[in-house]
Amino acid sequence: MIRRLSIFLVVAGLLPLFAEARAQADSPIYEIMINGESFLIKANRAQKLESKLNPGVTYNVAFRIAPTQRYEMNHVSFDYDWLCEIVDDKKPGRRTARITHELGFTMLVTELGGAMEPKSQTEVLKAQLESVVETLKEMKSTNLKVGKTLSNKSESGNSQRVVIRYNDEDGVAHTCVVCVVVKSGFTVSMVVEYLDAASKDVLPLIKKTLGSLKPLR
């Protein structure tokens, strides 16, 4: 796949590369333009480009993918790790985006409109929780444990959440968190699911997204 990007430079400086391990991943190909001349380069790699229009002229370039990306929905935006894939239904009403990371965790973010009162927030959480638990039972999950409702309040808003722990049909331990987040101007529901064995690696990424929720201005 070739993505088109136009960059007009006199001399392209060498940008710092992202983490070496990620640089080894399968990189997309981008098209850049330097002084009116087009080049194809791979992301996260330093490359020397030789000009065909100006023999003897070379450019040392690197195209760096920012490790943190920003995503915008209808009323809400959030940050996510660039290794995530997002599938968005783009509905004008209750729009839902599913975030899937290659480390194995998923996040389902659904816009619910403006800021809810605590009573409505609790009712939405209860309905969402019942739906998730029913789905887990249909998936033949075992050792299903549903925790108590936990609340968190801050100056920027509040959240209510319930933690579910279970084993899948292969006996692998999972954690699922169902929550409803209310901030100034918006309410979203979120369902987060990850492997317990990967919690050390994925929790910082999940917290990054949760903490970055903002209303669109």
Query: Which pLDDT score is estimated for 79?
Result: 96
Answer yes or no: are the C-beta atoms of 188 and 161 closer than 8 Å.
no
Query: Which pLDDT score is estimated for 20?
Result: 41
* Residues ≥6 apart with Cβ < 8 Å to 173: 165, 166, 167, 195, 196, 197
Query: Which pLDDT score is estimated for 86?
Result: 96
Phi, psi angles (nearest 5°) of residue 145 = -130, 120
Cα–Cα distance, 52 to 171 (Å, whole number): 59
Domains of the chain by start residue, with CATH: 2-62 (no CATH), 68-215 (3.40.1000.10)
Query: Which pLDDT score is estimated for 104?
Result: 87
Query: Which pLDDT score is estimated for 205?
Result: 93
Tokens representing 177 are 């968190």
Given a cut of 70, the residues of the chain with pLDDT beneath it are 1-27
Answer yes or no: are the C-beta atoms of 37 and 51 closer than 8 Å.
yes
Q: What is the pLDDT of residues 41-86, one digit of tens each?
A: 887 788 899 999 999 999 999 878 889 999 999 999 999 999 899 9
